Amino acid sequence: MLRIASWNVNSIRQRVAHLTEWLGQASPDIVCLQEIKCLDENFPTAEIEALGYNVVTHGQKTFNGVAILSRHPIDEATPRLPGNDGDEQSRYLEAVISTRDGVVRVASIYLPNGNPPETEKYPYKLAWMDRLIARARALLALEEPLVLAGDYNVIPAAEDAKTPDAWVGDALFLPATRAKFRELVNLGFTDALRACTGSPGLYTFWDYQAGAWQRDNGIRIDHLMLSPHAAAVLAGCAIDKSTRARDKPSDHVPIRCDLAIEPRA
């Protein structure tokens, strides 16, 4: 079984202890991290490697930044989402990892927030989603197990928010945002969590403000999107909600899925 997880850690240097503790508990094979908020050379690579993981990063000073950790050799890693050579924001990292059953391809995605929607930030979000859709279409042609994992900053449906009415004018829930997300799904991707359960009240983010965590006023914006070859071997999916209750936590929690794929020995 291959366990693949995603977690927006909201500053790796502030959460490294949380990450290493969770790695020991959840024992994921592959982890996609977002908002590491540091340059590559400042990532705590030694601490993570000491736990048996290989590390690749695509960092940025103070903002954004993504990383992929793997217990298995990373055959190749490609930073940056194609489609805009002038985009300097570190939001995408792709890696190929070999298993006994062949290769698995993963991408760590930190999709733009897009707020306030009346500014240039929202067109940037939609254009970024178009680039992601184009890349996803190209990757599907490879016919590999593919997991697009990360913080999508998209609330797919009303049941993915405790108080959906509060998000009506937000870039995460605008009709155009959800339409772009459906466009990605319609390429043939499966939302791992929703493939396993239709239960309400499943969230991955709780704001630091207004007692959102205490009132369980959350939203589901972190997703594991599976290609048909990955969805065919999906064995389960879970959200590790307990990490949000720790001291000085990230406002996101990990989400993970299990694929019936044999890791390389």
Q: Which two tokens stand for residue 138?
A: 């190209």
Instruction: State mean pLDDT over 119-139.
Output: 98
Place of tokens 């791992």: 192
In a domain, 158, yes or no: yes
User: What is the domain extent for residue 51?
Assistant: 2-259
Predicted confidence band of residue 99 (pLDDT cuts 50, 70, 90): confident
> Phi and psi dihedrals of 167, rounded to 5?
-110, 5
Q: Classify residue 155: in a domain, yes or no.
A: yes
Give the model's pLDDT for residue 264: 63
Residue 104 lies in a domain: yes
DSSP single-letter state for residue 232: T
Domain assignment present for residue 265? The answer is no
Compute the distance between CA of residue 188 and CA of residue 136 in angstroms, rounded to an integer. Answer: 10
Mean pLDDT of all residues belonging to the chain: 96
The answer to whether residue 264 is domain-embedded is no
In the numeric block, which tokens belong to residue 215?
Answer: 């009132």
pTM of this prediction exceeds 0.75: yes
Q: Is 25 exposed, middle or buried (0-12, 13-18, 19+ CB in 10 A)?
A: exposed
pLDDT score, position 100: 81
Confidence of residue 237 (pLDDT cuts 50, 70, 90): very high
- Say if CB 192 and CB 237 are below 8 A apart: yes
31-44 confidence digits (pLDDT tens): 999 999 999 999 99
- Give every CB contact of residue 6 below 8 A, 6+ residues apart in sequence: 31, 32, 33, 34, 108, 149, 150, 151, 222, 223, 224, 254, 255, 256
Counting the structural domains of the chain, the total is: 1
Q: Find the DSSP H helices in the chain.
A: 12-26, 45-49, 121-140, 175-185, 192-196, 228-231
Per-residue pLDDT at 258 exceeds 70: yes
58-93 tens-digit pLDDT: 999 999 999 999 999 999 999 999 999 999 999 999
Q: Which one, of 248, 250, 262, 226, lies nearest residue 33 by Cα?
A: 250
Task: Decide if 50 is inside a domain.
Answer: yes
> pLDDT digit string (tens) for 133-191?
999 999 999 999 999 999 999 999 999 999 999 999 999 999 999 999 999 999 999 99
Is 146 a domain residue? yes
Query: What's the one-letter identity of residue 256?
Result: R
| CATH code of the domain in which 224 resides | 3.60.10.10
265: pLDDT strictly greater than 70? no
Does the pLDDT of residue 192 top 90, yes or no? yes
